[in-house]
Structure 1
Amino acid sequence: MMPQPWLDRRIQSLFPVALVSILLVGSVRLVLDNLKSNQSHIFQSYGKTDQSYQQRKPVFVSSADRFENGCNVFEGKWVWDNVTYPIYTEESCPYLVKQTTCLRNGRPDSLYRNWRWQPNACKLPRFDPLKLLDILRGKRLMFIGDSVHRGQFESMTCMLQSVIPDGKKSFHRIPPMKIFKAKEYNASIEYYWAPFIVESISDHATNHTVSKRLVSLDSIARHGKSWEGVDVLVFESYVWWMYRPTINATYGSPDDIQEYNVTKAYRLALETWANWLDSNINPLTQKVFFMSMSPTHLWSWEWKPGSDANCFNESYPIQGSYWGTGSSLAIMKIIHDIFQKLKTNVTFLNITQLSEYRKDAHTSIYGERKGKLLTKEQRADPKNFADCIHWCLPGVPDTWNEILYAYLLQNHQNFL
């Protein structure tokens, strides 16, 4: 069911209350670090790949590793699978933060870990961490976005790290980045905090508030210095834009602060991003992906008419056609329009619809707020304290990474 216009007034009154208390969770663990450039000492020590590294026998991707041409992997259903899922566990991955470890934080059910995404017309290849590490040998894979995207980065790290022996992997928190390295492969999986993609006063990973947003819609160069030369870039930006229907921003002059409609501001920001891509990306050596919006499940009346709750205490996916009001069709159209004009090839990973069904997989009351687990009193008030934006791990972001992996296989060129 697609969102109806009459919902707008109710959403606009509720969305800010839900977001202002939740989004702060994702940034409390990071600290100030302004050494963002590839030329910084930190990057030289931990982030740069060694160009002299001698590759071993290249990986061979067979036809069985690829999904059929023309198959839409984003259309399908969630099927129960308690044999091959989850791909990893909380206990097996030392890099998960408390924000996402729902079972460790007291969640009584674990069903959310055992749903597998099955496309209608084809099959996703089974995730093979060794094959992905081979594809990434001597390369950098970077996730760029907000705390939801950081969850996808942590998911990918967990999916890979189990096959790497101790002593041959490392993990460094260097705000605004996190860097996981597989030393034997000279490969790195990285995360870069940029909730609006373009520059903003929220780029300090801890010293910011959701309510006092100010975005520089035509400024991206400072971020871009850390993205230059990265082999695989995965971008995402949505929920930070949706606090209110309007947003304070500058465009042209840094001193000319105006109130913009969010959709107009988002379009201008993505145009700035697109221009950066077209001016800086080498299509022969770099791949670019863009993740569609991660849906929210803030209002249970959307899938359960007459109810007045949220994602709390949900244990099963939504059945049947569903599109929640937490996902903006206007934003989706803007992304489509920008992509039509891009000269750079960007692969759009449309994970929104498949994630819409997963009302059961959010951290709810089993996450953090301001760096601390919810108190007993806060957990007793899920209507005000449940986080229906971030996802438990293992969980839905693992599927996003399986799809990303499938596309990396799809695009991999075998060398004889």
Structure 2
Amino acid sequence: MGSPFKDHQSHAPSYSHSFMKKILPYFIYVILPIAVIRLYLYSPTLPQPSTTVHHLPHSTNPISITTSSSSSSQHEVEEKKPAAKETQCDYTNGKWVPDNMGPLYNGTTCGTIKEGQNCITHGRPDLGYLYWKWKPKQCPLPRFEPNTFLHLLRNKNIAFVGDSMARNQLESLLCMLATSSPPKLVYTDGEDNKFRRWFFATHNVNMSVYWSPFLVKGVEKSRSGPDHNQLYLDQIDERWAADMGQMDMVVLSIGHWFLHPAVYFEGGSALGCHFCPGLNHTEIGFYEVLRKAIKTTLKTITERRGTSENGINVIVTTFSPAHFEGEWDKAGACPKTKPYNEGEKKLEGMDAEMRQVEVEEVEAAKVNGKEVSGFRVEELDVTNLSLMRPDGHPGPYMNPFPFAHGVQERVQNDCVHWCLPGAIDTWNQILLEIMKKWNQGQSRRGM
């Protein structure tokens, strides 16, 4: 088999031919495999390519303050080599199973949770909702790795844009990442701090949130003005889009605000309205309005960033169902304490329609942007797995200790947003898997 055998034979005495016949099989079946295994296990590691720092222009907007690059963490997570054949996984198809490990963080140690979602500190007595994990049928969903997430975003800016569900997902992610690298809040603006930015010095990562419940230009209803929203479906909301040039990745999340009364405008004239009695407008449904808003948003991102040098990655988080049972302001509005069993709850009606519109527009954007080298988009399809978690909402614990003085006739309930920690952490687990897949694709293309 080559030189190893030749070297061995050249040093053997001529009178020991029978000895050679005995020792040669021993060498082939014992010594040679050991040498091969040792060579495999102790092969030298190739150096990793360096990452270029993205310098941000100076601005007072949430994402655009210049930051300096920091040194690599000693415990940096190495990128795994991509498999020879990529395995697709449908994360929407699965079931919730018990998980004794529980969440990465808790409500008392993470300082970024909005009070209304901090169910532990607000006295929610049942903590079983913390001990479930989503198990896809086709593949495993790994536990969230904070270092890996930050490593993939090193020297980059990520923005969460949309309504309060975007904020809910952002705060979940911040808490998960804080277990490895504490973020610093470096910018706040707007009522209820609806525009904020955090900085992770360990990886030179900026993470921002932008309040934009329609993504397109909108005038929200107010106590002093009309009791309906006004949406301009062919114009992007510049409150966030003005900073688009500095975003490397953007996570979009909208839906619930489209259920509110609104008048819609397109091309400079009124298109119609939703639930607007007394106004001289055509009543139209909100599904196609949602479609137009997403289409305008993805088209604008493609035009402004798709052909730029650095490009942009876009995630669209699909509609998250509410779980109200009965009246929202009575005890027991969302009383479940366990997930639905597999097959117990079907995705249908408005929840299914909202999700379908979002998925269809993302898939259309993939086709339309196929020739645009710097544009990449994917849906983060969480509708079904969220539907199966009626136990994950704050309910009456949106307020501190709501039953401290007994059960009241009326009590506010939040059956829309998610307790932190809780089921929404799974959204960011899947987000990380999408990012890993994208990163493997870059490696295969030699980027």
Give the shorter-chain TM-score range: 0.7 to 0.9
Secondary structure, counterpart of 1:217 in structure 2: strand
Match of 1:380 in 2: 408
Match of 1:248 in 2: 263
Aligned mates of 2:305, 2:127 — CA distance in 1: 42
The reply to whether residue 294 of structure 1 matches residue 316 of structure 2 is no
Higher RCO, 1 vs 2 (CA within 8 Å, ≥6 residues apart): 1
Aligned mates of 2:342, 2:202 — CA distance in 1: 45
Deviation at 1:49, TM superposition (A): 4.9
Match of 2:372 in 1: none
For residue 94 of structure 2, the aligned residue among 76, 79, 82 is: 76
Q: Is the 8 A contact 1:68 1:122 kept in 2?
A: no
Aligned mates of 2:57, 2:176 — CA distance in 1: 30
In terms of mean alpha carbon deviation, does 91-100 or 63-72 score higher?
A: 63-72
Q: What do residues 149-172 of structure 1 show as CA deviations (whole Å, max 9, x unaligned)? A: 20100000001112225xx73353
Larger Rg: 2
Q: What do residues 190-240 of structure 1 show as CA deviations (whole Å, max 9, x unaligned)? A: 11111111111129xx98999521111111151311222311111011111
For residue 272 of structure 2, the aligned residue among 254, 258, 262 is: 258
The residue type equivalent to 2:352 in the other structure is L
Task: Provide closer, same or farther for how the CA distance between residues 333 and 314 of structure 1 changes in structure 2, counting only shifts above 3 A.
Answer: closer
Aligned mates of 1:409, 1:88 — CA distance in 2: 23
For residue 219 of structure 1, the aligned residue among 235, 242, 254 is: 235
Q: Is the 8 A contact 1:67 1:123 kept in 2?
A: no
The reply to whether residue 272 of structure 1 matches residue 289 of structure 2 is no
Q: Is the 8 A contact 1:210 1:243 kept in 2?
A: no
Q: How does 1:190-205 map to 2 (within 5 A)?
A: 190-202=208-220
Secondary structure, counterpart of 2:218 in structure 1: coil
Deviation at 1:300, TM superposition (A): 6.9
The residue type equivalent to 1:185 in the other structure is H
Q: Is the 8 A contact 1:144 1:193 kept in 2?
A: yes
The residue type equivalent to 1:139 in the other structure is K
Q: What do residues 122-150 of structure 1 show as CA deviations (whole Å, max 9, x unaligned)? A: 11222111121121111111111111220
The residue type equivalent to 1:184 in the other structure is T
The residue type equivalent to 1:354 in the other structure is L
Q: Is the 8 A contact 2:118 2:420 kept in 1?
A: yes
Aligned mates of 1:78, 1:210 — CA distance in 2: 43
Task: Provide closer, same or farther for how the CA distance between residues 77 and 183 of structure 1 changes in structure 2, counting only shifts above 3 A.
Answer: same
Aligned mates of 1:217, 1:157 — CA distance in 2: 31
Aligned mates of 1:335, 1:363 — CA distance in 2: 26
Aligned mates of 2:84, 2:195 — CA distance in 1: 32
Match of 1:172 in 2: 187
Match of 1:94 in 2: 111
Aligned mates of 1:212, 1:401 — CA distance in 2: 33
Aligned mates of 2:317, 2:60 — CA distance in 1: 28
- Count of residues paired in the alignment: 359
The reply to whether residue 61 of structure 1 matches residue 75 of structure 2 is no
Task: Provide closer, same or farther for how the CA distance between residues 326 and 104 of structure 1 changes in structure 2, counting only shifts above 3 A.
Answer: farther
Secondary structure, counterpart of 2:61 in structure 1: helix
Task: Provide closer, same or farther for how the CA distance between residues 221 and 94 of structure 1 changes in structure 2, counting only shifts above 3 A.
Answer: closer
Task: Provide closer, same or farther for how the CA distance between residues 341 and 406 of structure 1 changes in structure 2, counting only shifts above 3 A.
Answer: closer
Match of 2:160 in 1: 143
Q: Is the 8 A contact 2:247 2:312 kept in 1?
A: yes
List runs of 5+ in structure 1 lacking aligned partners: 1-37, 302-307
Secondary structure, counterpart of 2:321 in structure 1: coil
For residue 411 of structure 1, the aligned residue among 438, 441, 444 is: 438
The reply to whether residue 320 of structure 1 matches residue 338 of structure 2 is no
Q: TM-score, normalised by structure 2?
A: 0.71
Deviation at 1:62, TM superposition (A): 1.5
The residue type equivalent to 2:228 in the other structure is K
Task: Provide closer, same or farther for how the CA distance between residues 209 and 95 of structure 1 changes in structure 2, counting only shifts above 3 A.
Answer: farther
Aligned mates of 1:263, 1:40 — CA distance in 2: 39
Aligned mates of 1:128, 1:366 — CA distance in 2: 29
Task: Provide closer, same or farther for how the CA distance between residues 256 and 313 of structure 1 changes in structure 2, counting only shifts above 3 A.
Answer: closer
Aligned mates of 2:231, 2:335 — CA distance in 1: 36
Aligned mates of 2:99, 2:314 — CA distance in 1: 31
List runs of 5+ in structure 2 lacking aligned partners: 1-55, 274-283, 370-375
Q: Is the 8 A contact 2:347 2:384 kept in 1?
A: no
The reply to whether residue 399 of structure 1 matches residue 426 of structure 2 is yes
Match of 2:205 in 1: 187
Match of 1:31 in 2: none
Secondary structure, counterpart of 1:184 in structure 2: coil
In terms of mean alpha carbon deviation, does 189-198 or 219-228 score higher?
A: 219-228
Deviation at 1:358, TM superposition (A): 0.3
Aligned mates of 2:88, 2:391 — CA distance in 1: 31
Aligned mates of 1:71, 1:271 — CA distance in 2: 26
Q: Is the 8 A contact 1:362 1:390 kept in 2?
A: yes
Aligned mates of 2:126, 2:234 — CA distance in 1: 45
The residue type equivalent to 1:316 in the other structure is K
Match of 1:334 in 2: 357
Match of 1:349 in 2: 380
Deviation at 1:295, TM superposition (A): 0.8
Aligned mates of 2:224, 2:414 — CA distance in 1: 19
Match of 1:17 in 2: none
